[in-house]
Amino acid sequence: MNMQTLSSIVGTQTLPDTLQHLTLTGLTLDSRHVKAGNAFVALAGMNQHGLNYVDEAVRRGAALLIIEAGLSVSSVDIPILEIKDLRTHLSWLAANFYNQPCRAMQVMAVTGTNGKTSCCHLMAQAWKIQGHKSGVLGTLGNGIWGQLQPSTHTTADAISLQAELSKMAGAGVTHLAMEASSHGLDQDRMAAVPVQWAVFTNLTRDHLDYHGDMEHYAAAKARLFAWEGLKGAIVNAADPYHGSMLASLHAGVPLLRYGHSVGDDLWFDQVQMGAQGISCQVHGRYGQGVLRTRLLGRFNLDNVLAVVGCLLMQGTSLEQALEVVAELDPVAGRMQTLRIAGCPTVVVDYAHTPDALQQVLQSLREGLQGSLICVVGCGGNRDAGKRPIMGRLASELADVIWLTSDNPRDERPEDILAQMQTALLRPVHTEIDRRQAIHKALAAAHSDSVVLIAGKGHETYQEIAGQRHPFDDMAVARQWLQEGLCN
């Protein structure tokens, strides 16, 4: 069990004499997880304030209550520590409790609307190929590459994040690729993580229910590029918001711009798409060469190029970097393909934003001889403004469209589907039951068709009315095809 004195956790803050030598066994934001000797940190959440659960924390054995300075709290039988700007400082408290677990790691953080997960998993693979022990923190899970445990958030809360980093440090991880979500950056969850390499993929509409508008969304992402101690920034120069990231960089931080244009530090042309992957010519100030990847989808070239850029900034030659990325495997739930002889090709992708859906559909259309069928929905309790856009894009870019449930959460699926149908360019099919929608889409497909099942990707559940039910898009499609039901 990790144990620390309070004075070692709070650092330079002056403590009352009674708290100087208080020993803590842990930190937690969740009263349900309090154990004897823990400090309970009472912060405001999206729906409730931690102060509402102080009594429960005390009953479970909390030894200390940590609150925002100036807040009032009813009388409790344990000491109270007030900290100004608690949310901002919590990451440092947690890092100190866990002895600064990633102080000796090489840390790359990726931010952007789309591509974070792919870039992180590809980078972790690349490091492993180079002989490093790599770890990942993000949407698909946390832990040592190849041994990931499920995660609940793209960027975990400040305490859980440091706890996970402590496990990785104990397991010998030397190189870490982590996703930096806009929520996580805005809420300072990773403030104490010593990021050395910052990557920006792109910025398109998402999370406006939280940020309000694209300017605030971009500002949250740009915080990553103002990080103290940054050794390098790798930025997608083709994205119109990349200037916001550059404006945040401290003077002297090395910069690599990757993109599609002559003059970028790393750029590509002569793209050749095939069923087994993609190849292109890469150019720039590091030299030139041929990039080959087993990944599908033109948009994945941006992700692979970001990884090449990271390797270059870390001292790998272009020739060696291209050899490494040629060995990379596709990422689960990202253009994940299922081919069975005589059946339509199935592609499962996490595309849940307008830009991601557009990119995937356009990529699948290239060279396609048969029909392109799209099964897609939109998540509940999320930015409703993107629903008509998603519906319109599907109706514009696919031949046959099945609108269905994604994770409706606490909303009525009928309401979500109705919003998706307000800007359609052609008639669509609707089926609330996602399993049935997949079955019906496959039943109408031919052997030369491609059926895209979009929105959930790697997820193995469907969240309906607060409950998570087992559901795996790829497993549903595979079972239907293996039962010999295709045309």
Smallest CA-to-CA distance from 2 within 156, 149, 163 is with 163
Answer whether 390's CB lies under 8 Å from 378's CB. yes
Residue 92 inside a domain? The answer is no
| Residue scoring higher pLDDT (211 or 105) | 105
Please tell me the total count of domains within the chain.
Answer: 3
261 and 401 part of one domain: no
Could you tell me if 6 and 19 are in contact, meaning their C-beta atoms sit under 8 angstroms apart? yes
Q: Give me the helix-helix angle, 300-313 and 116-129, nearest 10°.
A: 50
In a domain, 15, yes or no: yes
Query: What is the sign, positive or negative, of the torsion defined by CA atoms of 339, 343, 345, 350?
Result: negative
Residue 114's pLDDT is what?
Answer: 87
Contacts for 185 with CB less than 8 Å, ≥ 6 apart: 111, 155, 220, 221, 223, 224
**What are the residues whose beta carbons fall under 8 Å from the beta carbon of 243, sequence distance 6 or more?**
none
Q: Is the dihedral of CA 155, 159, 162, 167 positive or negative?
A: negative
Contact 450, 347 (CB under 8 A): yes
57 and 201 assigned to the same domain: no
Residue 487 placed within a domain: no
Residue whose C-alpha is closest to residue 184's, from 176, 193, 171:
193
Q: What is the CATH classification number for the domain harbouring 17?
A: 3.40.1390.10
Task: Judge if 137 and 197 occupy the same domain.
Answer: yes
Residue 117 pLDDT greater than 60, yes or no: yes
For 95: left if phi > 0, alpha if psi spans -120 to 50, otherwise beta; the answer is alpha
Q: From CA 417, how far away is CA 434, in angstroms rounded?
A: 12
pLDDT at position 73 over 90: no
Tell me, yes or no, whether 90 lies in a domain.
Answer: no
**Is residue 410 predicted with pLDDT exceeding 70?**
yes
Q: Are 382 and 441 found together in one domain? A: yes
DSSP-derived secondary structure letter, 232: E
| Whole-number pLDDT of residue 70 | 87
Asked whether residue 4 carries a pLDDT value surpassing 90, the answer given is no
- Within its chain, how far is the Cα of 400 from the centroid? 29
Look at residue 99 and tell me if it is in a domain: no
- Residue of 134 and 333 predicted with greater confidence: 134
Amino acid at 53: Y
Q: Which pLDDT belongs to residue 466?
A: 87
- Which is it for strands 336-338 and 345-349: parallel, antiparallel or unpaired? antiparallel
Q: What is the pLDDT of residue 159?
A: 94
The pair of structure tokens assigned to 416 is 């979500």
- The per-residue pLDDT of the chain, averaged, comes to 91
pLDDT of residue 2: 64
In the chain, % of residues over pLDDT 90 = 71
Amino acid at the residue 359: Q
Boundary residue ending a domain (270, 295, 325): 325
Q: Other C-beta atoms within 10 Å of 404: how many? A: 27
CATH number at residue 147: 3.40.1190.10
Q: For 459, which DSSP code?
A: -
Instruction: Determine contact, residues 400/438, Cβ cutoff 8 Å.
Output: no
Sign of CA dihedral 17, 18, 21, 22: negative
Q: Rounded CA gap, 430 and 424, in Å?
A: 13
The mean pLDDT of 44-58, rounded to a whole number, is 88
Do 173 and 314 lie in a common domain? yes
Confidence of residue 455 (pLDDT cuts 50, 70, 90): very high
- pLDDT tier, 481 (very low <50, low <70, confident <90, very high otherwise): very high
Query: Cα angle vertex 347, ends 453, 311, to 5°?
Result: 115
Q: If phi over 0 gives left and psi between -120 and 50 gives alpha, with beta otherwise, what is residue 335?
A: left
pLDDT category, 211, cuts 50, 70, 90? low
Q: CA nearest 402: which of 435, 368, 438?
A: 438
* Same domain, residue pair 305 and 178: yes
What is the model's pLDDT at position 154?
A: 66
233: pLDDT strictly greater than 90: yes
The reply to whether 98 falls in a domain is no
| Nearest 10 degrees: Cα torsion 383, 477, 124, 239 | -40
Q: Return the bridge partners of 142, or none.
A: 137, 149
pTM to 2 decimals? 0.81
AA letter at 124? A
The pLDDT value recorded for residue 305 is 97
Reported in sequence order, the residue ranges of 140-220 that DSSP labels E, i.e. its strands, are 141-144, 175-179, 197-200
Same-domain check for residues 314 and 348 = no
The rounded distance, in Å, linking the Cα atoms of 251 and 242 is 17
Residues spanned by the domain of 69: 4-84
Q: Do 313 and 391 reside in the same domain of the chain?
A: no
Q: Answer whether 47's CB lies under 8 Å from 33's CB.
A: no
- E strands within 141-265? 141-144, 175-179, 197-200, 232-236, 255-259
Predicted confidence (pLDDT) at residue 186 exceeds the cutoff of 70: yes
Query: Do 144 and 181 reside in the same domain of the chain?
Result: yes
d(CA 398, CA 297): 16
Q: What is the CATH number of the domain that holds 450?
A: 3.90.190.20
Cα(372)–Cα(370) distance, integer angstroms: 7
With beta carbons less than 8 A apart as the criterion, state whether 370 and 450 touch: yes
Residues 293, 393, single domain; the answer is no
Distance CA 110, CA 460 (A): 24
**Of 410, 351, 352, residue with least CA distance to 378:** 352
User: Which of these three, 325, 347, 374, is where a domain ends?
Assistant: 325
Q: In this model, does residue 26 exceed pLDDT 90?
A: yes
CA 209 to chain centre: 17
- Pair (119, 139) in one structural domain: yes
Pick from 23-37, 203-217, 285-299, 324-338: least confident: 203-217
Give the pLDDT of residue 276: 76
Domain annotation covers residue 330:
no
Q: How far apart are CA 116 and CA 356, in angstroms?
A: 12
Mean pLDDT of 126-146: 92
3-state secondary structure of 383: coil
**Is residue 165 located within the same domain as residue 291?**
yes
What is the C-alpha separation between 249 and 243, in angstroms, rounded? 10
Instruction: Report yes or no: 261 and 238 within 8 Å, Cβ to Cβ.
Output: yes
